Amino acid sequence: MSAVPPPRTEEPRPAARGGRRSVAAALLLGDGLGPGLLLAVVPAVAAAYVAARAAGRAPRPWTLAWSLGCVALLAVPALRDSAWPVGLAVLAAVGLGALALYGSRTWPGVLLSPLGFFDAAPTGVQWAWAGLRERSNGSRDRWWPVVRAVAVALVLLLLFGALFASADAAFADLLGGLTPDVTVGDSPLRVVLFLFGLLVALAAARAAAAPLRWDRIKVTPGRPRSRVEWSLPLIVLNLLFAGFNAVQLTVLFGGYAKVLEHTGLTYSQYARQGFWQLLWATLLTLVVIALALRWAPRAGAADKRLVRAVLGTLCLLTLVVVASALRRMDLYVDAYGLTRLRISVAAMELWLGLVIVLILAAGLFGARWLPRAVVASAGAAVLAFGLLSPDGMVAEKNVARFQQDRKIDLAYFQDLSADAVPALDRLPEPHRSCALRGINDELSDAGRKPWYATSLGEERAKRILADRPVTASYSTCSKLGTFGSRIEY
């Protein structure tokens, strides 16, 4: 890969955009995530749009798709209380936001675009400062009246807001919920968030106005191998996959008893034993395909047909491996219940299967669209993962299992988020109170948070616990194993 930095598009006149945008980050993120994250980022998106229009960049369909995907992912913290899908959603939003700003379509561009923020942040500050200096020269009559008007508006809001709040307790409570609670103790955090929001807004505006062209980075193709040298290892690998899949299909269609008798494993041990190996096999297959394409023979049409046949067969066989891995996970969940780790790796295996399907389609219809399709599928998978509420699904599955066979691990629920409360609320007492004890304590310790830092899942959990409080005693929950330790695998 070339080490030369990618060139910029023609640089427009400097402009100050986004300085006032970081106020939202300082005010809305000081108490945590939630709707505040989306509200804090939307102004930065607007700043990037204005900067791009000023630089003469017109939005394209893919740019709009990446932007909408980014905003949709940032809505996950407003809906879910669980930190792990929220963290994935924020990281995915950064990736889609980078694609919206830089418009990358090749593998180097797609993978390296997020690094552009490290370049756009410092240069964005210089760019904005130059724009401010240029616009302030001889233009005091334009911006000074605006400053005065904003100052007068703030004074009027503070004055009459204080009077109305002191006159009516209900209005004071409403006003307190709508406005950030800024104290001296958290002022340093607010300042840091303000500066960070300012930096993000300026970086987005700078990248939108003059993006680095990551797609111009050229990757030198590998030296083509001969047909025998290239195809022989892959054909042997295909035969190995075919043999393994034949055994899996035999087991799938009723051969469990014979296999378990021969191996000495229990039903659940057999299910658990192979999933992780099959997950790694899927990941390694993608690596093999990438390396095989790099060194594939490409002298003519016959070579292309050979590559398609060998790698297409490998992809099809890998899909059977994916199905086998998911089947084993299903058996494992039936035996031991659903956990965060199990639902996460199963979701990852599903997405890897989708990537294999996309690679198959690229072999038939061309691979120009493949990098963006893989990223789009990853963004959609992370969004679906967050919207489906994995903690809620874990609780739902385990509650259904308890209703069927009376087996439940109350200790595991103590670390779940507020998203699990609606499902756990259906348990009979005292199991319900013991299952909700950890979540209830965590919500109580967190205290009252403003609306912009409270997710929908957390608000719903608080209403449920307020209507039906936790009542079981410590000793009762201890006898049920609520406070025992456990290892998740």
**pLDDT for 316 beyond 90:** yes
How would you label 334-347 residue by residue, b for 16+ Cβ within 10 Å and e otherwise? Answer: ebbbbbbebbeebb
Average pLDDT, integer, range 1-10: 48
Average pLDDT, the chain: 81
Tell me the percentage of the chain whose pLDDT exceeds 70: 79
Provide mean pLDDT across the span 230-250: 90
488: pLDDT strictly greater than 70: no
What pLDDT was estimated at residue 134?
Answer: 66
- Residue 167's pLDDT is what? 74
Q: Tell whether the model's pLDDT for residue 26 goes beyond 70.
A: no
* Mean pLDDT of all residues in 350-377: 93
User: What is the predicted pLDDT for the residue at 489?
Assistant: 55
Highest mean pLDDT among 1-15, 272-286, 459-473: 459-473
Give the distance, in angstroms, between the CA of residue 3 and the centroid of all CA atoms in the same chain: 30
pLDDT at 447 over 60: yes
Residue 148 scores a pLDDT above 80: no
Q: How far apart are CA 403 and CA 432, in angstroms?
A: 12
Residue 6 has pLDDT above 80, yes or no: no
Most confident of 36-45, 239-248, 369-378, 478-487: 369-378
What's the mean pLDDT in 175-198? 62
Check whether 19 has a pLDDT greater than 70. Answer: no
Q: Which pLDDT belongs to residue 460?
A: 95
pLDDT at 190: 63
**How confident is the model over 421-432, as a mean pLDDT?**
95
Q: What per-residue confidence (pLDDT) applies to 325?
A: 85
pLDDT tens track for 91-102: 999 999 999 888
pLDDT digits (tens, 9 = 90+) for 285-299: 999 999 999 999 988
Tens of pLDDT, residues 110-127:
888 888 888 787 877 777
Residue 249 has pLDDT above 60, yes or no: yes
pLDDT-derived band at 177 (thresholds 50, 70, 90) equals: low
pLDDT in tens, 132-145: 666 666 555 666 67
The Cα–Cα gap between 364 and 234 comes to 19
Residue 338 has pLDDT above 80, yes or no: yes
- Partnered with residue 365 across adjacent β-strands are none
Query: Is the pLDDT at 255 greater than 70, yes or no?
Result: no
Q: Is the pLDDT of residue 9 over 70?
A: no
Q: What is the mean pLDDT of the segment spanning 231-244?
A: 94
pLDDT of residue 117: 81
Q: Summarize pLDDT for 35-88 with one digit per residue, the tens.
A: 878 887 877 888 888 888 888 887 788 888 999 999 999 999 999 998 889 989
What is the per-residue pLDDT for 4? 47
Does the pLDDT at position 15 exceed 60?
Answer: no
Query: Looking at the predicted structure, is the pLDDT value of residue 3 above 50?
Result: no
pLDDT at 201 over 90: no
pLDDT of residue 105: 86
Least confident of 264-268, 309-313, 355-359: 264-268
Residue 128: pLDDT over 80: no
Which pLDDT band, with edges at 50, 70 and 90, does 248 fall under?
confident
pLDDT value of residue 140: 58
Structure token digits, residue 132? 């401010």
Least confident among 60-74, 89-103, 268-282, 300-314 = 268-282
Please tell me the predicted confidence (pLDDT) of residue 133.
66
pLDDT cut 90: percent of the chain above it: 36
- Tell me: pLDDT of 265 over 90: no
